[in-house]
Amino acid sequence: VRFTEASLRTAEPYLVRERLIQQAVHIAGMTYLYVGGLLPEGYYSGSGAGISGFRIEAYGPDYEGLEAVCERLAARLRRASRRVVDVNCDVDRFGRPDAREVLRFDWTDEAQLRTGLPAGAVAAALRPVFATRFPVFFAPIAGEPYLPVRVEVAGAETIDVARLAARPFPLVDSVQVQLAALAPMRVVRTPSAVERIDQQYRRYVSVDFRGPYQMGHRLIGGVVASMPLPPGYRLKYPTFRFFGEEELKRSAGWALPVTTALVFLIAAVVFESWWLPLVMLLSLPAAAIGVAVGFLWSGANFAEGAFIGVVLLAGIAVNDSLLLLDRYRQLRARRPHGRPASLIRLAVRERLRPMWTTTLSSVVALLPLLVFPDEAGFWQGMAVTVTGGLLAATLLAPLATVALLSRARRRREAGSG
């Protein structure tokens, strides 16, 4: 389903999305579903929630303190915009609901003072009643050194929790505790697993934002950046990027100059000169012009694929200039007294057809990625980068090379005169 650019400013795309989700749930009975193609960014959903797919990672040294931080974050997100429909602090790393209901007894300081028993002792005494499926210890029985032993109260599977909490429960020889009076019980939702990484607890928070992806990304990023946190706690957003976008940006920052330097050194060895490789590198700013024009014309996003395309372009955009300057060097060796302006024009005349043949064959190979772009835009960004850069380098680099060599020759002649 495709919408015009004007319709994206209305509520119609979101209404269509909701109808599709409702039909998939009610008619097909789906639990997890995917709805894509409604907008350029796309929508995806798990059981109708988390449609925008925003996730935040929270880290902290204390589990209960981390839970409080997540709740405060959820409250700030809900206040930030009415488009934030729901914030779930109990999801897994993929944003799917991961909560379970847990029966919790709050053993307060007052209860410990009245009974003289710490919370650990109470939990150990209640374990044979509530945790009957797990071994209490391992013992060397019947020649088996690690035989699991389970301690279970008779009829524990039929004991009603409310009756158990209301009657006196013998914990030690002289102490009986009525849980309902000392430790009120309640059912709480907690993640099904407790994650620890680098000596810190980690929890995931999903945000259901009803609106364009870029709007939600800016909103959530601003809330996360402005939220005050206690010492030792931190929030991470975004939690991941396709193909590691942040790592890719950092890699492109050093890969591009390294690639350019290697190309320059190889050309200097081939030409046995420092001047001609510098002239060859004129293809790179010419290719940059083509990249800018290509993205303005196509409207594609300069994202992950474009970074990879830039690194590739640094190595292949100079191929035409390499052929051109190699032919110029051959002509100059044959005619040492010839004018450089005439020799470079002759080289352009002889190498222009192979240059354009090579460029057009590369562009034609990338046409399917331009005509049938993927929804994520990864391959489209790379194709636009390489195509625009190659066309501009083939068109502009020969002109710049002719102009530079001719001007340099005239300067040397003026200096000698």
> Could you list the mean pLDDT of each consecutive 10-residue stretch along the chain, which spans 417 residues?
70 76 63 49 41 79 91 93 86 71 80 83 75 69 69 65 74 74 78 81 88 83 92 82 54 76 85 83 88 84 78 83 84 80 84 87 86 71 89 87 74 51
Q: Burial, 380: exposed, middle or buried (Cβ in 10 Å; 0-12, 13-18, 19+)?
A: buried
pLDDT of residue 6: 74
How far apart CA 60 and CA 230 sit, in angstroms, is 9
Q: Can you say whether residue 232 is alpha, beta or left, with left for phi > 0 and alpha for psi between -120 and 50 degrees?
A: left
Q: Are residues 299 and 394 in the same domain?
A: yes
Task: State phi, psi for 234 to the nearest 5 degrees.
Answer: -150, 155
Whether residues 309 and 268 share a domain: the answer is yes
Q: Is 320 exposed, middle or buried (0-12, 13-18, 19+ CB in 10 A)?
A: buried
Q: Please tell me whether residues 72 and 143 are part of one structural domain.
A: no
The span from the CA of 207 to the CA of 220, in Å, is: 9
Domain containing residue 226: 7-94+207-236
Which helix (H) or strand (E) is 140 found in, with range?
strand 137-141
Q: Is residue 338 part of a domain?
A: yes
How many domains, the chain? 3
Say if residue 86 is in the same domain as residue 110: no
Say yes or no: 252 and 398 in one domain: yes
Domain of 349, CATH number, reads 1.20.1640.10
DSSP for 183-221, written as a single string: S-EEEEEEESS-EEETTEEEEEEEEEE-S-HHHHHHHHH
Residue 316 lies in a domain: yes
Residue 202 falls inside a structural domain: no
Q: Distances in Å between the alpha carbon of 108 and those of 188, 255, 379, 406, 413?
A: 17, 59, 59, 89, 95
Q: Are 276 and 410 part of one and the same domain?
A: yes
Q: Is residue 199 part of a domain?
A: no
CA distances from 89 to 64, 155, 230, 248 (A): 13, 36, 18, 29
- What is the model's pLDDT at position 39? 47
Do 17 and 122 share a structural domain?
no
Q: Could you tell me if 186 and 327 lie in one domain? A: no
Which residue(s) pair with 221 in the sheet?
none
Contact 62, 68 (CB under 8 A): no
For position 120, which CATH number holds?
3.30.2090
Tell me, yes or no, whether 54 lies in a domain: yes
Q: In this structure, is residue 196 part of a structural domain?
A: no
Tell me, what's the pLDDT at 295? 85
Q: Which residues contact 62 (CB under 8 A, 6 or more apart)?
A: 201
pLDDT of residue 239: 54
pLDDT of residue 44: 44
Evaluate whether residue 136 is within a structural domain: yes
201 falls within a domain: no
- What pLDDT is attached to residue 378? 73
Residue 388 and residue 300 in one domain: yes
The first and second tokens of residue 176, run together, are 């009986």
Residues 59 and 115 both lie in one domain: no
- Same domain for 408 and 326: yes
Query: Using CA atoms, how far apart are residues 218 and 359, in angstroms rounded to an integer?
Result: 39
Rounded Cα–Cα distance for residues 311 and 316 (Å) = 9
Whole-model pTM: value is 0.45
Give the C-alpha separation, 380 to 372, whole Å: 8
83 and 171 inside one domain = no
Q: Which of 320, 262, 258, 317 is nearest to 291 (CA)?
A: 317
Gyration radius of the chain over CA positions: 34
